[in-house]
Amino acid sequence: MIERETGKGFTMHTIKLDVIDTCPKTDGKDVFLISDNLSGFVERAHIVPQDNPNRKQCTEKESWTGKQSYDTALNYARNGDLSGVPASDAFLSRFESLHAARPAWARVADVIGSSAIISAAINGHPLSMRRRVRVASENAPLAVCVDLVSSGGIDAKILRKRGALILALVRALSALRPVELWCGGSSLPFDQEDTFHVWWRMDTSPLDLARAAHVMTSPAFSRGLLYGVVSDAAKSFSGLRWPYNNHYWSRANMRPVLSRVIGSGDMLCIAAPHAADRLVDEPEAWFSDMLKQYGGLDDEA
């Protein structure tokens, strides 16, 4: 079932599907709310009622949402906020020496090089030598899907740090191959059987850095705007649980669940953070592994 929700300045598509075969929770559906752009999600967040619990608790006094109000988070989501960019820049600089985000190797024909192209040399062609150069990867587009939901016990400072690291990775990967960035989150309301998935596509051609930084690093955006839209779409005021009430299964199966509506042959799914989070505990190793796996980097100097 596919429906379209429209309002002033936004369109979101609602898609209701059966859960995938291996899902441990069989008494509910998957409900996807999808927007082709951030603006669609932001305007949907704008109409969340003032008495929505997630909207009400998102204030300048609430440390859990980063001491930023719901309306301020809305404004930054529309117009951008560069305050999260320096931390992302710092990660990029820090990891450059560990694993520079450089293009892949390729062999090209040239007048000089390390080995001869025999057929070209016999025919007197001037480009008769092979030379290794760095070139932009010709890999297929990569869909990066970032779940912004988080465990309630995670401090807002950790969310900011984690978001800056993910943004740095997206920027590094974008220098190597086409990247399609999707942000959002998935959750099961306490009084519902259906799991709700709210996702939107970010602008990446070029990357809208000011708005992407806000989306990735603002606890008010994730715990205020995103949670508010999820609970309002579900018509639920009783709180949110992990998808399918099973955090381990939902993390491990994020790709097969999302790939039904966010189609891509190559996907990097970054699951919601929990108590043990490699992105926070081992940032260098995680960043390097992701570049190797999804950036197609050649380690040879």
Is 300 inside any structural domain?
no
Alpha helices per DSSP H over the chain: 38-46, 53-56, 70-79, 85-96, 118-122, 156-174, 209-217, 219-220, 227-233, 247-252, 254-258, 278-281, 283-295
Is 104 inside any structural domain?
no
More confident of the two residues 160 and 2: 160
Is 172 inside any structural domain?
yes
40 and 7 in a common domain: yes
Instruction: Identify the sign of the CA torsion 286, 289, 294, 296.
Output: positive
Is 301 inside any structural domain?
no
Is 228 inside any structural domain?
yes
pLDDT digits (tens, 9 = 90+) for 86-107: 999 999 998 876 555 455 444 5
For the whole model, what pTM was predicted?
0.84
pLDDT digits (tens, 9 = 90+) for 65-79: 999 999 999 999 999
17 and 127 in a common domain: no
19 and 124 in a common domain: no
Is 246 inside any structural domain?
yes
Torsions phi, psi of 179, nearest 5?
A: -125, 130
Is 177 inside any structural domain?
yes
pLDDT digits (tens, 9 = 90+) for 226-244: 999 999 999 998 899 999 9
Residue 135: per-residue pLDDT: 46
> How far is residue 180's CA from residue 207's CA, in Å, rounded to a whole number?
10
Average pLDDT over all residues of the chain:
87
- Residue 250 belongs to what domain range? 2-98+138-295
Q: 118-132, 171-185, 267-281, 286-300: lowest mean pLDDT where?
A: 118-132
260 and 114 in a common domain: no
Residue 115: per-residue pLDDT: 59
For the segment 255-270, the average pLDDT, to the nearest whole number, is 90
119 and 198 in a common domain: no
Is 154 inside any structural domain?
yes
Instruction: Judge whether 30 and 194 are in contact, CB under 8 Å.
Output: yes
117 and 31 in a common domain: no
pLDDT category at 147 given cuts 50, 70, 90 is very high
For the segment 44-53, the average pLDDT, to the nearest whole number, is 96
- Per the structure, how many domains does the chain have? 2
State both tokens at 132: 């290794």
